Amino acid sequence: MRMIPVVITVVAGAALVHAGDAVHVSPDDVGPESIVYWQGEYVGTIEVDGGEQVLAAQVVARRNDNYELVLYRGGLPGHGWDPESGMERMTAKLSEGRLVFEDGQGHEYEVVNGAIVLSHEERGTLGKLSRTFRTSPTLGLDAPEEAVVLFDGTHVDKWREGATRTEDGLLEQGARTVDEYGDIFLHVEYMLEFWDSGARTNSGVYIQDRYEVQILDSFGHSPGRSEDGALYRARAPDVNVTLPPYHWQTFDILFRAPRFDDDGEKIENVRISVIHNGVLVHDNVELKGGTGWGGRKKEVPREHLYLQRHRGPGVFRNVWLIEDPDGWPEAVKSLVAD
């Protein structure tokens, strides 16, 4: 994959990413006036009655200097957290350079110096959660010799007229492939910016222009049929493993196209599996038709791939596929745990 220096500009409190090779934008790259400085993931050990407990947290930016704290017992989603244990949420507003969350039971969670310090009004300090930066194990995955490289940062020849390559070698939303495809394994890397508006940055990977794997700034949200990693409006991901904005993220998708008989009648439905940021979130799911507005189209054996332009700023890189794959590529199986 082509390596391009990272250049970051802070505008109106948000970091705008103009580069291709950064894994994520960190607080070291920006100042406290940036959303990036506060938003992120944290893990540590805290004191509880009877011993210690692993606690993880996500600090999620909302609008106008408002933030939400989401707590997970045992670890982060996809990495130690048991969804049946539930989650806790609380809100706070950045005030005079401090971000402090209170749970109404005497606990305070203050974000300070790259950590969250947990204290109790009577018991004092109970522990500290250190900031962590998760990286998808398939980020930067090299395309094998048999792959069709759709985008490597150098040109947009595999995409129809109107596809745009940025000066930094990234692919903008709204690109549709020149060629049509049937069964594929697809690798896609994407980065979303924080959009300080009433909506969230929104895109999607449309396979055969009908079956959407949703892209959305869903950091800190519960899984849903319209959230990041969903088969749009058809099925929620098993777990929401969305990373914060300004992190590169990955989809590894195994897609089996619908089957038709000699008369053109469909005899087998689509099958799709999705690994999101290294975690299997859809396992051989059957789709009876297209998702969302894609469901209005008649299904076909082969069709174009479309990286949706919907709303908000987002970019892609390292996009490639393997036609007629025999299951997951070995490189993916070796990197992704069961």
Segments forming the whole domain that contains residue 298: 148-335
In a domain, 83, yes or no: yes
- Do residues 162 and 126 share a domain? no
In a domain, 24, yes or no: no
The pLDDT confidence band at residue 337, using thresholds 50, 70 and 90, is low
In whole angstroms, what is the distance from residue 71 CA to residue 91 CA? 12
pLDDT tens across 87-108, in order?
Answer: 999 999 999 999 999 999 999 9
Task: Pull the structure tokens for residue 271.
Answer: 């099958």
In a domain, 73, yes or no: yes
In whole angstroms, what is the distance from residue 257 CA to residue 118 CA? 50
In whole angstroms, what is the distance from residue 285 CA to residue 157 CA? 32
- 47-50 long-range contacts, Cβ below 8 Å, gap at least 24? 47/123, 47/126, 47/127
Per-residue 3-state assignment (H helix, E strand, C coil) for 259-273? EECCCCCEEECEEEE
- Do residues 113 and 190 share a domain? no
| pLDDT for 34 beyond 60 | yes
For residue 84, give the CATH number of its domain: 2.40.128.120
pLDDT tens across 103-137, in order?
Answer: 999 999 999 989 999 999 999 999 999 999 999 99
Task: Pull the structure tokens for residue 265.
Answer: 């009648």
In a domain, 137, yes or no: no
In whole angstroms, what is the distance from residue 205 CA to residue 117 CA? 39
**Last-in-domain residue among 132, 167, 183:** 132
Provide the 3-class DSSP secondary structure of residue 118: strand
In a domain, 76, yes or no: yes
The pLDDT confidence band at residue 311, using thresholds 50, 70 and 90, is confident
Phi, psi of 36, rounded to the nearest 5 degrees:
-65, -30
In whole angstroms, what is the distance from residue 134 CA to residue 221 CA? 17
- Do residues 114 and 168 share a domain? no
- Do residues 102 and 152 share a domain? no
In a domain, 274, yes or no: yes
The pLDDT confidence band at residue 10, using thresholds 50, 70 and 90, is very low
**pTM assigned to the model:** 0.94
- Do residues 116 and 70 share a domain? yes
CA 251 to chain centre: 8
Q: Report the number of distinct structural domains present in the chain.
A: 2
In whole angstroms, what is the distance from residue 51 CA to residue 32 CA? 35
**Last-in-domain residue among 105, 132, 159:** 132
For residue 174, give the CATH number of its domain: 2.60.120.560
- Do residues 156 and 298 share a domain? yes
- Do residues 128 and 187 share a domain? no
The pLDDT confidence band at residue 338, using thresholds 50, 70 and 90, is low
- 258-264 long-range contacts, Cβ below 8 Å, gap at least 24? 258/299, 258/300, 258/301, 259/301, 260/301
- Do residues 183 and 318 share a domain? yes
Report the phi/psi class of residue 223: left, alpha or beta, with left for phi > 0 and alpha for psi in -120 to 50: beta
